[in-house]
Amino acid sequence: MTAMRNAIDAVCSELGVRRTDRKTRERVAGHVMRSWADGRRMPLNLVQAGLDGGTRLDA
């Protein structure tokens, strides 16, 4: 759980997502959690999944 939280915080920080923006943070978290569930659990995999999801947030 700590690895996911750290990845979510890192991605949101990189994307400039504020802690108060719960909707966007939840979308990023969803991508990170799917990566975890799919077995891609290394920290860089989790961050990459979040960033991949984050790039689609603006689309």
Domain spans in the chain, listed from the N-terminal domain onward: 2-14+22-55
Mean pLDDT of 3-21: 89
In this prediction, residue 20 carries a pLDDT of 95
- Mean pLDDT for the stretch of residues 9-37: 90
pLDDT for residue 21: 94
pLDDT band at 49, cuts 50/70/90? confident
The predicted pLDDT at position 34 comes to: 87
Residues 48 and 23: beta-carbon distance below 8 Å: no
Q: Is 27 helix (H, G, I), strand (E, B) or coil?
A: helix
d(CA 28, CA 45): 13
What are the phi and psi torsion angles at 55 (to 5°)?
A: -70, -25
What pLDDT does residue 43 have? 78
What is the rounded average pLDDT of the residues 44-54? Answer: 78
